[in-house]
Structure 1
Amino acid sequence: MIKVNDKIPAGELQQLTSDGMNNLSTDYLFSDKKVVLFAVPGAFTPTCSEAHLPGYVVNYDKFKAKGVDRIICVAVNDAFVMSAWGKSQNADNILMLGDGDAAFTKSLGLDMDTASFGGIRSQRYAMVVDNGVVTHLNVEAPGKFEVSDAESILAVL
């Protein structure tokens, strides 16, 4: 599993925009930037929709005030689902990125098999990445939502 002081592995995530599908490299997303990356087990799921994503949406200005260049939300869903979920949550300032085949999530070592729920998904986590290097990582225990919320990450910035 990725840990503090590790570099984000090379890979791509997908974003659907009004111009179409974009494949965004991790180099583009993380180089020369301070980024908060958080991941959820699935778009439109209860905890993810009621608490996790909304916390980052409402605290966006606080993150910017602490020097964060971008906030990224990732799920093992396709970019179409991530785009629709972002629109439904008014997440205009959050990069809603799909990891459809879980390649990025697996490269971090943060995948889990949820069996009939959805198969391979991401664990719930949040990290701070400075110029491609992880400076803080909070991974939730299974079924918990205590350390990857927006307030917990704001507290470490």
Structure 2
Amino acid sequence: MSCAIKQLIDENTVTECGFEWVVLGQNGTRIMKDALFNMNWSISGPAITRKILVLLFSREVLSIHTLFGKPSPAFMSINKPIKGQLDPLIVGDLIEFMALTKDMSSREVRNAITTKCADEFKMLRQRVEGRQENNFGKGIAKLETTN
């Protein structure tokens, strides 16, 4: 971690109920200081953005939400349910924080968020499909053994 990042984290640290939190931006989004200190800051900005996203939102929330909550123009003809929008205040704070710590543009942060949401959705879909296949396979095995 560079001295500049450490200083920024220290300057934005608040203590509440004995825990140290870092305020990410003007909207007051907080994250545990230890989580940021334990992060490998030598990796790319988008990778750090994705790691922080998982600390701010659960994987389930990321999988069923998008940056803007709007359907993709690529899938307008398909009848797909519309996903929710990630909290824009938290997203704004993350953009602000990543701009200060890793000199990322707003667009770069938004792209990292979009990619993370899409990846989490794909992983959720794979887990669900895997469970359905496993349950289906178990059902066949039970039928075969009872006959």
TM-score range (shorter-chain normalised) is under 0.3
Tell me the TM-score normalised to structure 2 length.
0.27
Highest CA radius of gyration, 1 or 2? 2
Q: Which has the higher contact order (CA 8 A, sep 6+)?
A: 1
Q: Is the strand fraction higher in 1 or 2?
A: 1
